[in-house]
Structures are given as structure tokens and as C-alpha cells.
Amino acid sequence: MIKIKDKRVLIKKGDITQEDSDAIVNPANDTLQHGGGAAAAIVKSGGIEIQIDSDKLIRNIGLLPTGKAVITYGHNLQAKFIIHTVGPKMGEGNEENKLKKSVLNALNLAESYNLKSISIPAISSGIFGFPKERCAEILLEVSVQFLSRNDVGLKTIVMCNHDEETYNIFLEKEKYYL
């Protein structure tokens, strides 16, 4: 656990759909079609209403650009909200800055809803091909910087990953903040 004043970043191995944080982050695609990976698991656990909400949102705003974040209800999940953010695909250019923007926009959205906790998986490190080690470094760096701000009410950021490899990478990177 990384402590920042009265705030913390936790590294956890688990199923993000079972998290009881105020919000979970969905590493989404630009159409919010939840057909695979974490997105599919979120809809399977939280209900088809999540896809229906996402479809309505896309009809209203158009495609969700890389780095942006939007929020929908969690429906049958323990989390009240889902923050959807599109991370970068490797090879599209400027991936590190885009990933930083994705994480920061998700955290800012949580803050704007006065949420106290959020659970985030390793955005872009699955089918989008972003290197897991660099992903962990960026997510931890952005999270620690965010929680270090005095004007932030968010108290807990959980880095929640289901596979042993990613979990261990985050644990290794956590040591730099202890």
C-alpha cells in the first residue's frame, strides 16, 4: 500500500467486477461496445443495462476519443458507477501521454462526482498491447500525483488486476513509492 497523507493506493489481485469501490474503470473502446476482456466481464456481471447506457451515450456524443472518460451507472455491480476510458493502442503514436490522459481523466471524473474510491485495471495492457511494466509505472505515477493534491477528496485508488503477472508487476513498481 502506498500512503499519501490520509489517502492510499492499493495493489490487488482480483476481479474488478466484484470491487466495492464507488466506481470501477472500464478500459473501453471508442464505441463502448463491451464485447471482450474486462468490458465484457463488466456487462456480464453488471447487466445488459450497462451496454444499453453505453449505446445511448455514444448516440449522444459520438465516438469516445482516446484519453477521454465518461461515466455510467454500475447497475448490478457493487460499484455505483463505471468510468469508461479509452486507452491508447500500441503503434498509434504518443501512447504514454495518451495513457496518462486516460487515467487522469478517469480520476478527475471520479473527483467531480465526489467519489471516495475507484478501482482501475491495467488500461491498454491487454489487447491494445501497451507494455505492462510501463503501464504500471504510469498508472501509479499519475495516481500518486493525483492523490498528493490538497484539493482532492478521493481517498482510495485500487489497482485491481485479475492475472498474476500483471498483479506482480504492479507490486514490483509499488516498491518505488514505499
pLDDT tens-digit map of 105-156 = 999 999 999 999 999 999 999 889 999 999 999 999 999 999 999 999 999 9
Kindly list the domain boundaries of the chain, sorted by start residue: 2-177
pLDDT at 37: 84
Could you give the CA distance from residue 176 to residue 141 in angstroms, rounded to a whole number?
10
Task: Please report which confidence band the pLDDT of residue 49 belongs to, taking 50, 70 and 90 as the band edges.
Answer: very high
Say which residues have a Cβ less than 8 Å from residue 97's Cβ, sequence separation at least 6. none
pLDDT at 74: 97
Confidence (pTM): 0.95
Give the residue, 55 or 38, on which the prediction is more confident: 55
Say which residues have a Cβ less than 8 Å from residue 56's Cβ, sequence separation at least 6. none
Say which residues have a Cβ less than 8 Å from residue 78's Cβ, sequence separation at least 6. 18, 19, 20
- What is the distance of C-alpha 131 from the center of its chain? 16
CA distances from 8 to 29, 63, 126, 178 (A): 28, 33, 25, 11
What's the chain's average pLDDT? 96
For residue 46, pLDDT beyond 90? yes
For residue 178, pLDDT beyond 80? no
For residue 32, pLDDT beyond 90? yes
Share of the chain above pLDDT 70, in %: 100
pLDDT at 36: 83
pLDDT at 172: 96
CATH number for the segment(s) 2-177: 3.40.220.10
For range 1-11, the mean pLDDT: 96
